[in-house]
């Protein structure tokens, strides 16, 4: 099976093409899962999830990366993208070459928005940035295009993932994904983040809708998701030695479904919010809405 391919910067300006491309990406993922007998539990996407707010110069996730010394392109707002579209049209109308098109380092984000919207109908989607992942893993100072950089970053990740282990007969990077070596590396780093539970990830930015997720390895992030110690525990939870823990933390949590409602003492009140108020759920009946919430965000409980 061959994954869908992009058609260039001019095509990505067409909303119909973007929607078609996103649908093709979804179908490809389903084909792979069907062949391997898998059900996607979480998908990592190496692209911004949405435009920047009109009132901000950079998204919260990008500001957090800036503070950590990790470079990234700014995501334009929806209105800025309209101006970019006009600029591109003028460039092409004057005979400008497609490989010299303005804002080529941002136009691909439009495809990312469409992919996020489409794949979110399948399962939870996380925004990731492989460069941030390798930086928290202690590598990434040398660009992936430089000789030896891909191997260096893969080895840095392997110290935490256990792959590749160098065993004879194990698959190699060229066998697990499509594209150039650095594209395959990015795919692997992204899948690593997607494989982690909420408690094993950290966020640059403001979860759940303006955050770039990385493995929780050390204090590289300006904003962290709750640790095991700070996350609230249910009355029936067990500690490592088997003792029952009946304590609830005072940690606050913004609803991961709608990104608006703050729980002042999570998980108090989650069921009422999920059943009757949360706009981030698809179900309509109260009991079904609570079930949907528990299934989608099981890692929070």
pLDDT at 83: 96
Give the C-alpha separation, 228 to 47, whole Å: 28
- Mean pLDDT by runs of 10 across the 301 residues of the chain is 89 96 96 91 95 93 93 94 96 93 93 96 95 90 84 92 85 89 94 93 92 80 36 32 31 74 79 90 89 80 69
- Bridge partner residues of 253 (DSSP): 263
Burial class (CB in 10 A: 0-12, 13-18, 19+), 182: middle
Instruction: Assess contact for 215 and 133: CB atoms under 8 A.
Output: yes
Please compute, for residue 156, the number of CA atoms within 13 A of its CA located in the half-sphere on the CB side.
Answer: 23
Q: Which long-range contacts (CB under 8 A, 24 or more apart) does 19-23 make?
A: 19/114, 19/118, 21/111, 21/114, 21/115, 22/111, 22/114, 22/115, 22/117, 22/118, 22/119, 23/118
Count other Cβ atoms within 10 Å, centred on residue 63: 18
Q: How far is CA 239 from each of CA 228, 232, 236, 242, rounded to the nearest angstrom? A: 11, 13, 10, 5
295: nearest Cα among 276, 277, 281, 279? 281
Please compute, for residue 132, the number of CA atoms within 13 A of its CA located in the half-sphere on the CB side.
Answer: 34
Write the DSSP assignment of 252-288 as a string of letters: -EE-TTTS--EETTTTTTHHHIIIII-TT----SHHH
Instruction: Assess contact for 135 and 120: CB atoms under 8 A.
Output: no
- Bridge partner residues of 214 (DSSP): 202
Give the C-alpha separation, 265 to 276, whole Å: 19
- Bridge partner residues of 205 (DSSP): 211
pLDDT at 134: 93
3-state secondary structure 199-214: HHEEEEEECCCEEEEE
């Amino acid at each position: 099976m061959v994954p869908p391919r992009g058609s260039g910067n001019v095509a990505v300006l067409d909303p119909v093409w973007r929607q078609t491309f996103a649908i093709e990406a979804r179908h490809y993922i389903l084909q792979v899962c069907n062949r391997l007998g898998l059900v996607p539990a979480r998908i990592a996407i190496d692209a911004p999830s949405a435009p920047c707010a009109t009132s901000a110069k950079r998204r919260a996730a990008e500001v957090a990366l800036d503070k950590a010394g990790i470079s990234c392109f700014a995501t334009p707002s929806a209105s800025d993208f309209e101006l970019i579209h006009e600029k591109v049209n003028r460039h092409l109308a004057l005979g400008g070459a497609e490989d010299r098109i303005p804002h080529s380092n941002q136009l691909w984000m439009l495809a990312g928005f469409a992919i996020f919207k489409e794949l979110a109908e399948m399962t939870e989607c996380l925004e990731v940035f492989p460069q941030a992942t390798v930086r928290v893993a202690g590598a990434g100072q040398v660009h992936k295009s430089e000789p030896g950089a891909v191997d260096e970053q893969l080895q840095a990740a392997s110290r935490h993932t256990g792959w590749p282990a160098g065993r004879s007969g194990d698959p190699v990077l060229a066998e697990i994904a499509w594209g150039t070596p650095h594209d395959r590396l990015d795919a692997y780093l992204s899948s690593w983040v997607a494989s982690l539970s909420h408690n094993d990830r950290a966020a640059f930015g403001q979860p759940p809708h303006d955050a770039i997720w990385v493995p929780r390895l050390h204090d590289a992030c300006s904003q962290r998701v709750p640790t095991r110690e700070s996350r609230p525990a249910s009355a029936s939870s067990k500690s490592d030695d088997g003792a029952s823990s009946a304590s609830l933390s005072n940690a606050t949590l913004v609803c991961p479904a709608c990104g608006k409602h703050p729980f002042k003492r999570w998980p108090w009140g989650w069921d009422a919010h999920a059943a009757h108020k949360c706009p981030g759920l698809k179900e309509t009946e109260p009991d079904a809405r609570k079930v949907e919430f528990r299934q989608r965000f099981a890692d929070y409980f």
